[in-house]
Structure formats: structure tokens, C-alpha cells
Amino acid sequence: MPDYIDIHAHVNFAAFDADRDEVIRKTLEHKTWMINVGTQKDTSLAAVELAHKYEKGVYAIIGTHPIHTHSSFHDTEELGEGGKEFTSHGESFDYDFYLKLARDPKVVGIGECGLDYYRLTPETEKKQKETFEQHIVLAQEIEKPLMLHIRNGSSNGEAGRAYKDALQMLKAHQGLRGNVHFFAGTWEEAKEFVDLGFTLSFTGVITFASNYDEVIKNIPLTMIMSETDCPYVTPKPYRGKRNEPLYVREVVKRIAAIKNLSDEEVREVIRNTAMKSFGLES
């Protein structure tokens, strides 16, 4: 049984090319497990292949990130320099490819999928919604939980719109399960997801910004999970370094402090929620 589980990591990304296995071995030695999340076909496949290198403690989630439904900016942390590794090319969701991959026992969820309105045109919004809908159908068919990525737009009138649209789409289906990764909405939106049975996960952002303290205080501890979203958003006291799954403990500690509970209790409850949500066996 691990102490901690980083339920949303990207050790499958190019940022870990030089020392991937070393990072994973060190993480597992410290009783910390991880789920690597895909963002398009190649990074999803890489997450599954990586999971198979370890007997246990490394799992995969597969799908198409909403920004990769159209050709997006090229993130070298994710895809490598100049496209020598992976390239962002705008993918149409290949249902059969993902269905086959989703049957793999190391695959514990579908995503990251959802809506990202940060850089948006009417055309890309339509494509994002269609793609998200296909992930929902796949999650139902394969009976695995969804890993949601939802990001609001930054302009006037965009406040909360991505969260509202996502909730509306999810409510049109019965019996869905899942987690909202990197939750950045309001308490009212958080409550709606929790009422639907969705958990929320938080990153290292909560160690250096207090924007989400109210949400964390209010939602039941049993509906919270911990993640790093590494290589991004490194928690305190490691700011300035590349993030990695081992640092998920800083997120758990901060949740305990915000909720005014013991580190031990929070660690156990959050670990148990992740084991159960993703069907992990110790």
C-alpha cells in the first residue's frame, strides 16, 4: 500500500526524457504511486508503455486533451524540441484506437478530456465539445472514470463558462464517474460536481496561492484527491525546479493544513479515495 498517489502526472512527457526511469524508481521507493495522463495518441501510448515497465504503482489514463483537438502551440516540456519527439497536430478523436487501448488493465481512466476556453474560436469550441462527448461515451462503454480538464476563458463574459458547459454535458448522461483535475472553479461549481459524484483534485498551486482555500475547506475530504500535474506547477518549497510525482506530498500536507486536520489522517483518506476511484490494488 502506498502512502501517496499522484493521480495526474506527465512523466510520459518529453521533460522527463533524460531521467524518466530514475524519477519513477525514486518515487516508488518513497511509497508514492502515480498515474501518467495522455494528451493525444502518442503521449497516451507512451503512458501505457511506461506503466507496463513496473509491476505496480505506475498506471495510465488515455485520451485527447481539448487543446489538442486543433493544432495548438507546441509545448516543448510536453512534446520535445522541434517535434523530434511528439508533435501537436490537432487530432480527431480515434474512438477505436482509444477503445482498444482502454481495455489494457494498466489503463485506469479516460482523459484528460473536457473543455479549454483559454484560447478559443467558435470553430474550436464545437470541436472540443464533440471530442469531449466521445470521451464520455467511451468512459461509459469501458466503465472507467473520466479525468477532466476544464479551463475557463480569460475575457469578460467568459467567467465560469467552461465549467457550466461541462456540467451541462455531464448531466445529460447517467452513471458517470470521474475527477476534475486542477480544479480552478468556484465553490458553487465545486458543489455541483460533488453532487454529481465527481471528486476534485488539486496541484502544487495550493502551496503558493490561496484562491482555492475556500473550496478545499468546504468540500468533504472524501471527495478530494492529490496530484502534481508535473512537469508543471512545482509546489513550495521546490519552486523553480522541475515538478515530479514525489512532490505530491506537499499538496497533501497543504490540504491538511487548510482543513486543520492531521497530516496522517488526510494522507490516508486521500490515498484510499484514489485506490478506490481508479480500482488500484495494493
Q: Which three cell numbers stand for residue 194?
A: 460533488
Query: Do 167 and 193 meet the contact criterion of CB atoms below 8 Å apart?
Result: yes
Distance CA 203, CA 183 (A): 8
Give the residue with the Cβ less far from Zn ion, 61 or 256: 61
Q: Which stretch binds Zn ion (CB under 5 A): 11-19, 84-92, 119-127, 228-236?
A: 228-236
Give the residue with the Cβ less far from Zn ion, 229 or 244: 229
Measuring CA to CA, which residue among 107, 86, 104 is closest to residue 40?
Answer: 86
Query: Do 226 and 266 meet the contact criterion of CB atoms below 8 Å apart?
Result: no
Residue whose CB is nearest to Zn ion in the complex, by number: 229
* Interface characters, 16-55, with Zn ion (x: CB under 5 A): ----------------------------------------
Smallest separation (angstroms) from Zn ion to the CB of 10: 6
Smallest separation (angstroms) from Zn ion to the CB of 54: 20
Q: Name the E strands within 89-172.
A: 107-116, 146-151
Give the residue with the Cβ less far from Zn ion, 116 or 229: 229
Q: Which stretch binds Zn ion (CB under 5 A): 17-25, 70-78, 213-221, 229-237?
A: 229-237
Give the residue with the Cβ less far from Zn ion, 2 or 114: 114
Q: H or E segment at 218?
A: helix 213-218
Q: H or E segment at 70?
A: none
Q: Which three cell numbers stand for residue 146?
A: 473520466
Contacts to Zn ion from residues 107-126, by CB under 5 A = none
Q: Which three cell numbers stand for residue 17?
A: 526524457
Smallest separation (angstroms) from Zn ion to the CB of 112: 5
> Which residues lie near Zn ion (CB under 5 A)?
229
